[in-house]
Amino acid sequence: MTEWSRSMTRITATLRATRGEGLSFSWHGRSISILLSILVSASLVLAGQGVTGSVNPTGALTPLERRVCSRLKKQTIRSVTQKLASTEMEGRGTATAGGERAARYLAEQFTRWRLKPLGDNGSYLQAIRFRASQVSADTTLRVGKRDLRYGPDFVLAPPLPADGTVVKGELVFVGYGVVSTGHGRDDLVGLDLKDKIVVLMRGTPQGVDEAAWKKVSGRQTVFGRILGQGPAALIITNAGLSEQPYSLLAGYMTRRSVALNSSPAPLFKAPPVVITSDRGAEDLFSGLTTSYGALRSKAENGEFVSQPLAKAATLSVRVRQEEAIGSNVAAVVEGGDPALRDQAVVFSAHYDAFGSGPDGRIYPGAADNALGVGTMLSIAQAFAKSRVCPRRSIIFLAVTGEEHGLLGAEHWVSHPTWPMEKICAAINFDGVGTETYGIVRRIVGFGAEYSDLGETLRWAASATDNIVLPDPLPEEQAFYRSDHYAFVKKGIPALMLMGAPQMERTALISRVKKWLVTDYHQTSDIVRPEWNWEGPRRLAVVGLLMGMRIAAADALPSWWPSAPFRRSAAAAPR
């Protein structure tokens, strides 16, 4: 999740607290710092500082476990990943033709392996109704006699206004928008913001304590205070960061957005929020005695710069909206124990990516997350080819809509095709492709510290010559940001698996950083010829062994007493 989306989530919380209502935010991802967490942890191990934890003393692999593992093929991971990331799938956008083509392909694989369907009406597909929105390029922001261009000069932040929205108002510049006695400043003093278009800049002035400034300048605080005064719209300038420039923000904001059709409309109508490029910001101040650049420099030097701009702006919004159908894909290997077969372990991975952009370019989503789906399907194939009948059932769930907020997973747990009270654990595959950098030797299980699934993971890792690493950046809350968390909210123990090889630290850092800058959620997230497919196969083996042990155990997985996700005993599988 980007810093912007985290901030919008905080704004939502503020409005919900002050108004009793909320805003919806429809884009979902992971921040660079989260994606680097596996890199950091691998680096710690390479430096001799890793933490392996205790190993569950359940013994070595059984002959059956070895046999099933031998059926797990890296060729399957490669072929599924390549197919999903091909141009034929058109980026697998949620509720698009390419996305549904990918869903049917996954269903075909389950059919080939003769897994039992777990979708609607005896099929593998679970239909989901979505609302899709796309801001049109003819959306305009006119300032005086200048027309700013949608995309290069400005974008709209979610939640999107309704089609045909027109907002007019006088521009008022509020600097950083900070009110703080500790800093001796009130950027809103003497300003009337009612029905105005408020222009706000992000950043930190020189000479202030950054930690203290962060507390008073957080978007939750600043936006909440401004919105409480009833502005017609907000315009955010200087929003880009060195690792997240305006061009990257604009790339996300101009893409199609998707929400569940069943999601209620917000009761509180939020004013439009606009983000400008530096060039767009200069146009806001054109014709004035002081330029935007000059005012920004003054603000950075600690000077008071807030003022009415004595000019008006008009925002005209055009949004194409449609209802569309997308699909989760689900299959099950039924358990063989009459007393336990109605209980199930879920393997999940999201197959959606971002489809194609307004310019027609395709976002293949190879590492994120065609690779995760390929890894999960290799486990499904291994079960099928081994003709294994575990005590408990094993569900394989390929979900859509993850990139828009875990939508497919949220729909499945709300409309399950297997009784939720009978789901005993969930294991999720989602990542950035570090498994393909070499032979996986390091495993991070996000959420492993909350339940005894962590013990099962440590056993499976030890049995396969891997080391389990703790989440090195728990403050980034990566555990909450992929499809397994939909199960966690229902009280079901779950974790997400990611892997990395043992390689030279500098080379690992350089490769991940380059990918994050150039490829993450971009058109260049493609299958690379140098990928090592044995890496994801080894991660799949760890996941497979965990699933087998959970399915065979007498006792159910359980949260540790300190975990905040425990469900009541009455809701536990039995």
Residue 573 has pLDDT above 80, yes or no: no
Contacts of 387 (CB under 8 A, 6+ apart): none
Binning pLDDT at 50, 70 and 90, where does residue 486 land? very high
Q: Which of 462-466, 515-519, 534-538 has the lowest mean pLDDT?
A: 515-519
Residues 120, 167: one domain?
no
Residues 299, 442: one domain?
no
Residues 280, 194: one domain?
yes
The pLDDT of residue 517? 84
The pLDDT of residue 568? 53
Residue 502 has pLDDT above 90, yes or no: no
Q: Kindly state the average pLDDT of the residues 358-383.
A: 96
Q: Kindly state the average pLDDT of the residues 209-216.
A: 93
Residues 185, 141: one domain?
yes
Binning pLDDT at 50, 70 and 90, where does residue 554 land? very high
**Predicted model pTM:** 0.87
The pLDDT of residue 388? 85
pLDDT digits (tens, 9 = 90+) for 7-29: 333 333 333 333 332 333 333 44
pLDDT digits (tens, 9 = 90+) for 265-285: 666 678 999 999 999 999 999
Q: Which domain holds residue 413?
A: 31-133+322-562
The pLDDT of residue 45? 41
User: Can you tell me the distance from the alpha carbon of 186 to that of 521, in angstroms, rounded to the nearest whole number?
Assistant: 39
The pLDDT of residue 32? 42
The pLDDT of residue 192? 96
How many CB atoms within 10 Å of residue 87? Answer: 10
Q: ω into residue 573 within 30 of 0, thus cis? A: no
User: Can you tell me the distance from the alpha carbon of 306 to that of 176, in angstroms, rounded to the nearest whole number?
Assistant: 9
Domain closes at, from 317, 347, 373? 317
Domain closes at, from 317, 345, 374? 317
Scanning the structure block, which residue is given the tokens 């059932």?
393
Which residue spans within 271-422 are E strands per DSSP?
273-276, 307-316, 319-333, 344-350, 393-399
Domain count for the chain, please give it: 2
How much of the chain exceeds pLDDT 90, in percent? 75
Instruction: Flag whether 369 is in a domain.
Output: yes
Instruction: Flag whether 25 is in a domain.
Output: no
Residues 232, 373: one domain?
no
The pLDDT of residue 15? 33
The pLDDT of residue 262? 85
The pLDDT of residue 415? 98
Instruction: Flag whether 503 is in a domain.
Output: yes
Instruction: Flag whether 4 is in a domain.
Output: no
Q: Kindly state the average pLDDT of the residues 356-364.
A: 93
Q: Which of 48-57, 336-345, 565-574 has the lowest mean pLDDT?
A: 48-57
Find out whether 411 and 328 touch, Cβ atoms under 8 Å: yes
Binning pLDDT at 50, 70 and 90, where does residue 223 land? very high
Cα distances from 536 to residues 52, 97, 371, in angstroms, run 20, 28, 8
Residues 271, 238: one domain?
yes
Residue 56 has pLDDT above 60, yes or no: no
Residues 156, 264: one domain?
yes
What's the CATH code of the domain at 189? Answer: 3.50.30.30
What's the CATH code of the domain at 515? Answer: 3.40.630.10
Residues 415, 539: one domain?
yes
Residues 202, 225: one domain?
yes
Residues 277, 364: one domain?
no
| Helix boundaries (H) for 307-428 | 371-386, 407-414
Choose between 264 and 465: higher pLDDT.
465
Contacts of 157 (CB under 8 A, 6+ apart): 4, 8, 236, 253, 273, 274, 275
The pLDDT of residue 205? 94
Domain closes at, from 267, 288, 317? 317
Instruction: Flag whether 328 is in a domain.
Output: yes
The pLDDT of residue 241? 72
The β-bridge relationship of strands 185-186 and 197-201 is: unpaired
Find out whether 243 and 34 touch, Cβ atoms under 8 Å: no
| Helix boundaries (H) for 235-334 | 246-253, 278-284, 292-300
Q: Kindly state the average pLDDT of the residues 39-43.
A: 45
Instruction: Flag whether 412 is in a domain.
Output: yes
Strand order in the sheet with 273-276: 146-149, 140-143, 307-316, 166-173, 197-201, 233-237, 273-276, 154-157
Which residue spans within 59-176 are E strands per DSSP?
116-117, 125-135, 140-143, 146-149, 154-157, 166-173
The pLDDT of residue 567? 67
Instruction: Flag whether 23 is in a domain.
Output: no
Binning pLDDT at 50, 70 and 90, where does residue 303 land? very high
The pLDDT of residue 284? 95
Residues 235, 265: one domain?
yes
Residues 375, 309: one domain?
no
Binning pLDDT at 50, 70 and 90, where does residue 537 land? very high
